[in-house]
Structure 1
Amino acid sequence: MLNFVTTNPGKVREATAYLDDEVVQFDFDYPEVQADELGAVAAHGAREAYRAADGPVIVDDAGLFIDAFDGFPGPYSSYVEDRVGIERVWRMTEPEDDHSAAFKTVIAYCDGDDFAATPDPVDRDERRGQDLAADDRGGATTDEQVEGGEDALPVKLFEGRVPGEIVAPRGEGGFGFDPIFEHDGTTFAEMSTDEKNAVSHRGRALAKFAEWYAER
């Protein structure tokens, strides 16, 4: 059985469309690291969850990437939504010539074993200094800054991306930045759940993962 680490049962229902009945919800509150890449955040969560579940897990992390802002807010999307709000994000984007953006999701899978890196990447926990405090990082040796070492758990990563544009808020559905993200003329907040799932970044990542997992 595959554990989907989430508190949102809607995500599990979406996953079952790709994974049949092999996936169950695993409610586990892991400490989320701050990083500039979705993959690093999801991989850290997958390792923590695997150790807690003692079985195969998937963790997802998602964000809104605005081209005019070099991909910001990206992995910091939840924080920006809470502190700034979607209306202000639209107002900041409105004066820009380029309104293009993308929603991205990375699904991280961990089962305690190793993987081949092709065609999807494997995070082997070799980033340097990410979890060290700023005061400690300057004085740390190279060996001290390598995370995990020989005991690191490899994590397989699968990315889904859907392109769109930032627009004035429209629609009553969805959540997060859905009202200001337009795809093919319709905001995510104007779509039904089934319509959104059919084109969503999470669905695209799940489709990639399910194809690979069927051969695992």
Structure 2
Amino acid sequence: MKKVLIATQNAGKVREFDAFFAKKGIQVTSLLDVEEPDDVVEDGVTFEDNAIKKAEAIGKSLGIPVIADDSGLEVDALDGAPGVYSARYAGSEKNDEANNQKLLAELESVPEEERTARFVCALAVYLPGNQCHVVRGTCEGQIAMELQGENGFGYDPLFYVPKLGKMMAELSRDEKNEISHRANALKKLASEWDSLLS
């Protein structure tokens, strides 16, 4: 495989995949490179459902290998919310700032020790003529009382990573690419990649 399409228009995600596949000599393209890409409705109940739906729909329409991810935040005190609705938590328009403010409001009365959470990433790989293969990666942490840090995107400024003593948004790209939910899913994918292609 020389080239793979990542089913996203999020430039931040594309960079993370690019860093992974560059080591394998595989060129990464994305929906940013596709004229009028299909708009896949992500109405699955789980991250895996949405990732498979996206990978298969786009892979079949273009006839090429596609990797789709669905990822988000699960907060234990909110019974796993925002979950699959992470990107549109505060409304149908994807707005990081509004989502973060809503999350802070929902957790206003929750003490620090009960604000445990995890980022989840489900990756679905579609290879023409094959069933989708799915891996899941997580990154454990907790939701802070206020936003901190300038890096990353989404809920990164609210997500504290205890083992590093930093917010996700305070990590360099290299640090994040070591420990993030997407990084952990990609590590799993790496360990299964050769058997997947054979």
So what's the TM-score if we normalise by structure 1?
0.75
- Of all paired residues, the percent bearing the same amino acid is 32
The structure whose Rg is larger is: 1
- Structure 1: give runs of 5+ residues left out of the alignment: 115-153
- Are 1:103 and 2:112 an aligned pair? no
The amino acid of 1:33's aligned partner reads: E
- The match for 1:15 is 17
Task: Give the match's secondary structure for 1:75.
Answer: helix
Alpha-carbon offset, residue 29 of structure 1: 4.0
CA–CA separation in structure 1 for the residues paired with 2:42 and 2:52? 10
Q: Does 1:207 align with 2:187?
A: yes
Once the two structures are superposed, residues 119-147 of structure 1 have per-residue CA deviations (whole angstroms, 9 ceiling, x without a partner) of xxxxxxxxxxxxxxxxxxxxxxxxxxxxx
Secondary structure of the residue aligned to 1:6 is coil
How many Å apart are 1:9 and its aligned residue? 4.0
Cα distance in 1, alignment partners of residues 81 and 44 from structure 2: 12
Q: What SS does the corresponding residue of 1:175 show, helix, strand or coil?
A: coil
Instruction: Say whether 1:25 aligns with 2:2.
Output: no
Given the alignment, which residue of 96, 99, 105 partners 1:85? 99
For structure 1, which segment, 23-32 or 97-106, has the greater mean C-alpha deviation from structure 2 after superposition? Answer: 23-32
Question: Are the counterparts in 1 of residues 72 and 119 from structure 2 also a CA contact under 8 Å?
Answer: yes
TM-score (normalised: structure 2): 0.81
Following superposition, which runs of at least 4 residues in structure 1 exceed 6 angstroms of deviation?
none
CA distance in 2, matches of 1:165, 1:196: 16
Letter in 1 for 2:155: F
The answer to whether 1:38 aligns with 2:52 is no
C-alpha displacement at 1:53, in angstroms? 2.1
Deviations along 1:29-72, one digit per CA (max 9) or x if unpaired, are 43222222001111100111111220211101110000011110
Cα pair 2:17 2:28 within 8 Å, conserved: no
* 3-state secondary structure, aligned to 1:107: strand
Query: Of 179, 193, 211, which residue of structure 1 is paired with 2:173?
Result: 193
Q: CA deviation at 1:7?
A: 2.0
Q: In the alignment, residue 59 of structure 2 is paired with which amino acid? A: Y
Match of 2:142 in 1: 165
Instruction: Find the counterpart in structure 2 of residue 65 from structure 1.
Output: 74
Deviation of 1:91 (Å): 2.8
Which of these residues, 132, 150, 157, is aligned with residue 155 of structure 1? 132
Aligned partner (choices 148, 172, 180) of residue 158 of structure 2: 180
The 3-state SS of whatever aligns with 2:183 is helix
Q: Which moved more, 1:205-214 or 1:161-170?
A: 205-214
1:122-141 matches, cutoff 5 A: none
Comparing both structures, which one devotes a greater share of its residues to helix?
2
* Whole-angstrom CA distance in 1 between matches of 2:18 and 2:30: 14
- Please give the alpha-carbon distance, in whole angstroms, between the structure 1 residues aligned to 2:191 and 2:159: 28
RMSD: 1.8
Note closer, same or farther for the CA distance 1:11–1:33 as it changes in structure 2 (3 Å cut).
Answer: closer
Q: Is the 8 A contact 2:14 2:30 kept in 1?
A: no
